[in-house]
Structure formats: structure tokens, C-alpha cells
Amino acid sequence: MKRTTIKDVAEAAGVGVATVSRVLSGGSASAETRERVLAVAAHLDYRPSALGRNLRQQRTGGIGLLVPDLTDTLYGRLAEGVLACARSAGEPVVVGSTGDDPEQEAELIGMLLEQSVDRVIAVPSGDAEAWGPAIRAGMTVVFVGEQPEEEPGDDDPLDELLLLDGVRTPPKPDGAIPTVLADDRSGVRTAVQYLKGLGHRRIAYLGGPGHPRRVAAFREALGELADEELIVFAGGGRDSAYAAASGLLQRHRDVTALLAGGNRLGEAAVLASRELGLRIPGDLSLVMYDDVPWAELCSPPLTVIAQPGQDLGYRAAELVLRAGARRPRGVLLPTELIVRGSCGPRP
């Protein structure tokens, strides 16, 4: 007989998997929703507590790896780092793609619990509350590249990172999930200073979902030159990124430099510039966060903020494998500005 899963409960109750997870773990939900979810769970004979006992008593080993997009070059490098470390420890790795969707992330967390995978490395898509059931069931979790939104009143991750430079251990509240991060602030700050040194004053930022540290660092580095109208955000898809880049460059013809907050956004900026007849770097200087193979093949090659994707994965795997040992609360790895041909003096 097929065992009832958290997805079955969600579908029968007409709510998302993340909502079921919150209700069953004692998290926030309306009284009506809570009553409906609990009634459906009882009717379907769903017992999440059994999963926790199974996880603690019958550990199967292995590491779960959850990333937003397996086709993204950065996450591919991150996975290589995890696999290299896990291979040396003789641990198998189960890889899942969340699509940067909190509901899909919650479903995958439930599946890993049911499969008794007790160590997980994740680029989180949802908020911290979504991971509550996994933590309470005894799962060892390490975040990499991102920190999920905390409950109101928690420390702002940016405030912690402002104190750091280079490879450090960022201070975290007791009980917080260890996180391996690239030093976004230092990378963005260096890039903006480089553009300002070339004479640029009208510098735009093209961002996407997540990465709040990058846009905060951009505002901080520009100071009084920061213009909120030049800070534009796209959705997660390529079409959205292109629309945002094209709209930004059409509305603000006086922009002479652009920092794209990710490789998909950088791709969109290159395409939009070509469509609009803007020469790089003659009319527009372009810096992209994240180095990918095609960046060096562009004409001209793109100046990038490179982050150590493989090292991020390797260090995250090291942390998650040290269950029971004293682990640092987090690791911050350096970024590097690689200057190529896509930036020049202000026109």
C-alpha cells in the first residue's frame, strides 16, 4: 500500500506543501487552514512524527543537495564541489532542483525526510520557517550562497557581513543554520569603485530574485550617487530579465555603466544592448556578477565579479559532514573582480 506523503495531504487540503509543513510543525497558519490540514492529515493517516523517528534510528547516509536550477553554470560548479568532497568521504549525493520555488522546495524536503537522508546542503528558496520540520526531525542542514528570510526581529545578514573582509566566520545567533557565502559586498564594492574610477556617475543595477546583499552593497558603494530609478529587478526567467534590461536602458539613456547581479541578467543586458544599438564599452560599460564560460567568449569579453562556485560547494559539504563535531556557524569566501574588455571610460 502506498504511504501517504506530505504532497498528498497538500493536494487533498487544497493548500501548498509549505503550508502543510508549517501546520504540522506548529508554525503560523490561520485557524481555518490549520483545522482543514489537520483533519485531512488524520483522514489520510499521515504521521510525520514517524519520519523523525525513522531519520534518527535508521540513518541511511548520503547527502541531499537542493539548488534552484541545475542548468545554471554556478550551481553546476557548486554541485561539483559537493560531489568531490562527498566522494572523498564515501557518501552518495541526491540532487534536486527547486526551480527557486518555495512550494517545490518544501516538497523536496519532505521527500528527503521520507528517504531518511539526514544531511542536506541547500541554496534556499523559501523562508527559514520552511526548514523547521527538517531541523526538528534531526536533519543536519547547511545553506550555501543564500540565507533565507528570517523572522522579524532577527539580525540582518548584511549587518554581519559589513564587519567582514576576506575568508571569515560571520557571527550568527545560537542555533542558526551554518551558511557558506561568497563575499558579495566586497565584490560589488570593488566593481563600483572600478566604474567610478573610469569616470562613471550614472551607474545602474539589474537584479533578480534574492541576493539582497548585492543590491545593498551597490547602494552603499554608490553613496550619494545612488539613484533608485536606476535599480531595477527582474523575475527568475530569461524573458523577464531581458524585458527588465531593455526597459531600463530605453528609459534611462544617460546610463553609462551597468552592473548585472547574475549571469542570466548579464546575458540579458548584452542582448538588450545589441538590440538597442548600444556599443559595449563605447556607450555602455558592463560588469556581471559571476564568471561563466561564455563571458570570456563575448565580444568584447565581459568584466566579471567571480565567485568560487566549486569551493562554496566543497566547504558546504565539509560542514554538513561534520555532524556532532564543532562546526563554524558560517564561512565567507572571497570574490574577485576580473577585468576584461567590457568596461571603458565614461563616454
Name the strands in the sheet holding 303-306, side by side, starting at the edge strand that comes first in the sequence.
231-233, 203-207, 257-260, 285-289, 303-306, 336-338
> What per-residue confidence (pLDDT) applies to 117?
86
Name the strands in the sheet holding 330-333, side by side, starting at the edge strand that comes first in the sequence.
93-97, 63-67, 119-122, 140-144, 179-182, 330-333
> What per-residue confidence (pLDDT) applies to 191?
97
pLDDT in tens, 132-168: 778 877 889 999 987 665 543 344 433 334 334 333 3
Contact between 46 and 21 under an 8 Å Cβ cutoff? The reply is no
Contact between 313 and 80 under an 8 Å Cβ cutoff? The reply is yes
pLDDT in tens, 259-297: 999 999 999 999 999 999 999 999 999 999 999 999 999
DSSP β-ladder status, 336-338 and 303-306: antiparallel
Burial 143-166 (b: 16+ CB within 10 A, else e): bbbbbbeeeeeeeebbebbeebee
Q: Specify the higher pLDDT residue, 249 or 213.
A: 249
Question: Could you give the count of Cα atoms lying within 13 Å of 213 in the half-sphere of its Cβ?
Answer: 24
Give residue for cell 547602494.
219
Give residue for cell 559537493.
82
Contact between 167 and 334 under an 8 Å Cβ cutoff? The reply is yes
Other C-beta atoms closer than 10 Å to the C-beta of 301 total 15
Task: State the greatest distance between any 2 C-alpha atoms of the chain, in Å, as a whole number.
Answer: 70
**DSSP assignment letter at 261:** S
**DSSP assignment letter at 198:** T
Q: Is the dihedral of CA 281, 284, 289, 291 positive or negative?
A: negative
SS (H, E, C) 50-86: HHHHHHHHCCCCCEEEEECCCCCHHHHHHHHHHHHHH
Which whole-number Å values give the CA distances from 77 to 170, 282, 290, in the listed order?
A: 23, 33, 12
Give this prediction's pTM.
0.74
**Helices (DSSP H) in the chain: which residue ranges?**
6-13, 17-24, 31-43, 48-57, 73-88, 102-114, 132-136, 157-161, 184-197, 212-222, 238-251, 263-275, 293-297, 309-321
Least confident of 68-72, 93-97, 155-159, 195-199: 155-159
> What per-residue confidence (pLDDT) applies to 222?
94
| CA atoms of 14 and 36, how far apart (whole Å) | 9
Which whole-number Å values give the CA distances from 103 to 21, 224, 327, in the listed order?
A: 10, 39, 29
Least confident of 68-82, 240-254, 320-334: 320-334
**DSSP assignment letter at 128:** G
> What per-residue confidence (pLDDT) applies to 56?
45
